Amino acid sequence: MSLSRMLENWSRLNQRDYYKDEPIMWGMSIDLNKCTGCASCVTACYAENNIPAVGKEKCATGHTMHWLRIERYWDLPESEADLAVEESEYPERGAHFAPMMCQQCNHAPCEPVCPVAATYHNPDGLNAQVYNRCIGSRYCGTNCPFKVRYFNFFDYSEDIPHPMEMLLNPDLTVRSKGVMEKCTFCVQRLRNAKGDQADKGIRGHVEDGAVQTACQQSCPTEAIVFGNLKDSESKVSKAWEDHNVELNRHEQFHEEGERGYRVFEELNVEPSVMYLDRVRDTNA
């Protein structure tokens, strides 16, 4: 990629809606009313995406590679103090769980800082990572407000004992030392689905439900919905519409009790993942 092309791409990237005419924009909705924090999605992600378990010592130095992790908090944000229980020694309303993975931001802070354009925005709305272009500057990880980028400090693949290498998914690479990696919305599955459609002569449309991300597929409560936001009939766009969440906003205009929001949308990063508020019966 020539330097001029790179600069051109960057300036295009910062134009709003540059990809607005593309037929597919992958998006997600996560219902925190249903998410139980069981972490089934986390293990599904490990299995699908060749993510190494790094061991206790490396976990301790912050090298855990979980592309999808469960955030767990015990308190309410300040604005919701009225939902709090009476003074108690115990967390009587349970925990606050949120699966957190790359939010595939449309104004991704990680993209413009990459010195080699290893992370870029693809026409399907994904914040893609080109491993063999990555030089490991880690600027992107520093710039990510969600802290969902993971750096390979070691060649974990070399330590896989036989026969455990046999469970690796041949549809995606095993990353090597010195590159950054992150959630791809299971891009290998998306490519397969698009390829299947192309075989039938259909381009630019993937039927809703024809492709699932690994986390969505395993979720026992169906808290995760995934699909094409440009397809007005897809479950995910209906969910966005039902909950009155729109792109190109840094704040959603909600009636009392409407549940849709995007984490840190006030930063104007335009995440493609919508969350729905956790619900608690305050009468209980």
Partner 1 sequence: MSQKNAKNELSRRTFLKAMGLTSAGSALALTGCGDTDIINQVDLEVRKEKVLPAVDPLDFVRPGREVHYASTCRQCPANCNIHAKTREGRVIKLEGNPTSSTNWGRMCAMGQAGLQGHYNPDRLTKPMVRKGGKLVETTWAEAETLLKKYLGKKNAKLAWLSGATSGHQAVITKAYLDAAGSQNHFVFDTVPPSVGLAANEKMFGHAIPKYDFDKAKLIVSFGADFLGTWLSPVQFGAQYGQFRNAPRGTLVQIEPKMTLTGSNADRWIAIKPGTEGHLALALASLIAKDSNFKGKKIGNLDVDIEATSAATGVSIERMHKLRDMLIAQSPSLILSGNSAEGFAHGSQAANAILMLNIMLGNVGETILPRSKPAFEDLQPQLGGWAEMKAFIDGLADGSFDTAVVYGSNPLFQAPDFMKADEAFAKAKMRIAFSMFPDETTMACDLVLPVHSYLEEWNTSVPAYAADDGHLNIQQPVMNPVFGKGSTYAYGDIMLGLVSELDATFKNWDSYGAYIRDALATMKPTLVNPPKATVAGQTDEEGFMQGVLAAGFVQTKEAKASPINAKASSVNLPQGEAEGGKYAYHLVPSARMGLYDGRFANIPWLQELPDQLAAVVWDSWVEIHPKTAEKLGLITGDKVKVTSEAGSLEVSVFVFPGIHEETIAIPLGQGHTEFGRYAKGVGVNPHKILTPVFDEETGELATHATKVSITKIANRGDVDTRKHGDLVLESIQTSQKGREIVKSVSAKDFDHNEGEG
| Phi, psi angles (nearest 5°) of residue 273 | -110, 125
Q: Is 194 in the site for partner 1 (CB under 8 A)?
A: no
- CA geometry: angle 38, 39, 43, nearest 5 deg: 145
Looking at the Cβ atoms of 202 and 279, the one nearer to partner 1 is: 279
Residue number with CB closer to partner 1 (170 or 201): 170
Q: What does the alpha-carbon distance between residue 284 and residue 261 come to, in Å, rounded to a whole number?
A: 26
Rounded to the nearest 10°, the torsion over CA 25, 31, 34, 35 is 80
Can you say whether the dihedral through the CA atoms of 206, 211, 216, 219 is positive or negative?
Answer: positive
* Residue with smaller CB distance to partner 1, 1 or 47: 47
Cross-strand pairs, 134: none
**Is residue 165 close enough to count as binding partner 1 by CB under 8 A?**
yes
Q: From the CB of 194, what's the least distance to partner 1, in Å?
A: 15
Residue 37 contacts partner 1 per CB under 8 A = yes
Q: How many residues bind partner 1, per CB under 8 A?
A: 80
- The yes or no reply on residue 95 touching partner 1 (CB under 8 A) is yes
Q: Which residues contact 268 (CB under 8 A, 6 or more apart)?
A: 107, 250
CB of 121 closer than 8 Å to CB of 130 = no
Q: Binding residue for partner 1 (CB under 8 A) from 9, 137, 143, 169? A: 169
Assess 195 for contact with partner 1 (CB under 8 A).
no
Residue 259 engages partner 1 in binding (rule: CB under 8 A): yes
Q: Are strands 273-276 and 26-31 parallel, antiparallel or unpaired?
A: parallel
For partner 1, give the closer residue by CB, 97 or 120. 97
Which of 97, 120, 150, 240 forms a contact with partner 1 (CB under 8 A)? 97
CA separation for the pair 227, 213 (Å, rounded): 9
Q: Does 257 bind partner 1 (CB under 8 A)?
A: yes
Residue 6 in contact with partner 1, rule: CB under 8 A: no
Q: Is 122 in the site for partner 1 (CB under 8 A)?
A: no
Binding of partner 1 by 198 (CB under 8 A): no
Question: For partner 1, which stretch binds (CB under 8 A), given 2-10, 46-54, 124-132, 198-206?
Answer: 46-54
Our CA angle for 199, 125, 261, nearest 5°, is 130
Q: In what order do the strands lie in the sheet with 260-261?
A: 224-228, 26-31, 273-276, 260-261
- The distance of closest approach from Cβ of residue 164 to partner 1 in the complex, given in angstroms and rounded to an integer, is 5
